Amino acid sequence: MSSPVYIAGVGVITAIGNNVAEHLLAFSERKAGMGDITLLNTKHKGELPVAEVKLDNNALANLAGISSKTSRTKMLSLIAAREAMNDAAIPKFSELRTGFVSANTVGGMDKSEDFFVDFLADNNKGKLRDIFDHECGSITEVVADELGITDYMTTISTACSSSANAIFYGARLIKNDLLDVVIAGGADALAKFTLNGFNTLMILDKEYCRPFDDTREGLNLGEGAGYVVLVSDEVAKTLNKPVYCALSGYNNSNDAYHQTASSPDGTGSYMAMQGALNKAGLKPTDISYINLHGTGTPNNDSAEGTAIKRLFEPDFPPMSSTKSFTGHTLGASGGVEAVFSVLSIKHGLIYPNLRFKTQMHELPFAPETEYLKGQPIKNVLSNSFGFGGNCTSLIFSAV
């Protein structure tokens, strides 16, 4: 069970880019993806900023190569998963035992919302085509079919930690010798459902979000998808280029405090980070960079920060929340940020935490605000914490 699992490919789409290269450019230019709502049909247009992928459904469907009548979640998922698969370029892919483990929280809610308007008025109305993608699993199934993956697929939904859990589960399928290659990550499209949901909880910032800042007021919702290609040791040896890194540690712990709020001392976050370090056989001082969950809500950042203080004090590694660029992509965030963590190792990058001004009063540290390259990055800790107390941490390590 101790056999290593490597990352052989990455793919990502968010408000700051449609592929890996565009993301690297946006980070170097400190270009955030938030703005006024332009695509989502909602009353909150002009009032709540979001981080939309800057392509309407026709353009996105064109990029994905599928029908524009389907859910946006599916298009985002396919674009990023395909980029990851092409990037890995695994020889004799079709002869290997392959799997697709994808996560999402909204499924095809963007289409269900259209369906429900007519359905509520008359239960015999509403285009059935609009409800086909409602289930989270439908998104995964169509994308797996498009990628030609048939040996194994499943879908995970644990709120904002969903795709970190998908990566974790995918790696274990390889370690248990059930599969050779797993494309794992997640996708979520913006939907009225989630925008209104987070709005009722009063955790959306009307300004651009300020993760880990003392004056932070909430998160900005985003959308996107991020996938990594996980391969076994044997498959890694057949590749025509070096692997990016290894997935060395992971842990899933539950805060068991409240359905939506984090415990004040970040019990679940602490256990997830500590558990991932134990799994990787690393000490806190071995971590070169932390990609924070860092949503920008008062509650998350305080709980996560408190847990980091307890675990890392007195030596705090550089850390930042890339949600200051992409917004919070919910079920996609663990996958998106796994890609950023992998790229951090590959290119020696530390991403800036945008719009940071004031250190949180309860913490003895502040996030990194500069874009740093050429850094010696050995181990990256990526945090994903969600509703239902679901806390997951992943550690990626240079090889």
Partner 1 sequence: MKIYIRSAAAITAQKTFGDVPFLTELTEFDETRLMAIEPDYKDYVDPKLARRMSRMVKMGVASALQCLRDGQTEMPGAILTGTALGCQEDTVAFLTRIIEMEEEMLPPTAFIQSTHNTVAAQIALSLKCHNYNNTFVHKGISFESALLDAIMLLKEGDANDILVGGTEEMTDAAFKILTRLGLYKRRPISNADLYKTKTHGTIGGEGSIFFLLNDKPSPDNLAELVATKVFYKPKASVDIELNINKFLTDNSINAEDIDLVITGKNGDTKNDAVYESVIPALFSDNSLAYYKHLTGDYPVSMSFALWLGANIIKKGKVPAIVADGEIKNPSPKKILIYNHYQNSYHSLMLISAAD
Nearer to partner 1, 169 or 356 (CB): 169
Distance in angstroms (rounded) separating the CA atoms of residues 93 and 160: 31
Q: Which of 159, 229, 303, 332 binds partner 1 (CB under 8 A)?
A: 159
133 is a site residue for partner 1 (CB under 8 A): no
Which one of 136, 160, 245, 391 is the catalytic residue? 160
- Among residues 19, 28, 68, 260, the one that binds partner 1 under rule CB under 8 A: 260
135 is a site residue for partner 1 (CB under 8 A) = yes
Q: Hey, how many other C-beta atoms are within 10 angstroms of the C-beta on 285?
A: 9
| 310 belongs to the binding site for partner 1 (CB under 8 A) | no
Rg (CA), the chain: 20
Joined together, the tokens standing for residue 216 give 């932070």
Is 293 labeled as catalytic in the residue annotation?
Answer: yes
The dihedrals phi and psi of 221, each to the nearest 5 degrees, come to -75, 145
Q: Is 328 a catalytic residue?
A: yes
152 or 371: CB nearest partner 1: 152
Stretch that binds partner 1, among 12-20, 75-83, 198-206, 302-310 (CB under 8 A): 198-206
Shortest distance in whole angstroms from residue 337 CB to partner 1:
19
| Cβ 238 to partner 1 shortest distance, Å | 25
CA pair distance 171, 232, nearest whole angstrom: 9
Does residue 3 belong to the site contacting partner 1 (CB under 8 A)? no
| Nearer CB in complex with partner 1: 89/120 | 120
Member of 119, 286, 298, 398 binding partner 1 (CB under 8 A): 119
Residues 6-25 contacting partner 1, CB under 8 A: none
Q: What angle (nearest 5°) sits at the alpha carbon of residue 252, between those of residues 250 and 256?
A: 155
Separation of alpha carbons 360 and 316, rounded Å = 15
Structure token digits, residue 221: 């919702």
Q: Does 44 bind partner 1 (CB under 8 A)?
A: yes
Task: Specify the stretch interacting with partner 1 by CB under 8 A; choose among 20-28, 224-232, 267-275, 287-295.
Answer: 267-275
Q: How many CB atoms lie within 10 A of CB 283?
A: 10
Who contacts 167 (Cβ-Cβ below 8 Å, separation ≥6)? 101, 184, 185, 228, 230, 247, 250, 334, 335, 338, 394
- Residue 241 CB, shortest distance to partner 1, in Å, is 30
Q: Provide the H-helix boundaries in 243-386.
A: 267-280, 298-312, 323-326, 333-347
Beta bridge partners of 100: 153, 183
What would the DSSP string read from start to end of 77-115? HHHHHHHHHHHH--TTGGGS-EEEEEE-SSTTHHHHHHH
Q: CA-CA distance, 186 to 219, in Å (whole number)?
A: 20
Which of these ranges, 138-146, 218-226, 301-309, 348-356, lies near partner 1 under the rule CB under 8 A? Answer: 138-146
- Binding to partner 1 by residue 288, rule CB under 8 A? no
User: Known catalytic residue: 209?
Assistant: no
Q: Which stretch binds partner 1 (CB under 8 A): 53-61, 70-78, 249-257, 311-319?
A: 249-257
Determine if 152 is a binding residue for partner 1 (CB under 8 A): yes
CA distance 288 to 286: 6
The residues assigned a catalytic role are 160, 293, 328
Residues in contact with partner 1 by CB under 8 A are 1, 42-44, 105, 112-113, 116-117, 119-120, 123-124, 128, 131, 134-138, 140-141, 150-159, 165, 169, 172-173, 175-176, 192-193, 196-197, 199-201, 252-260, 267-268, 271, 386-390
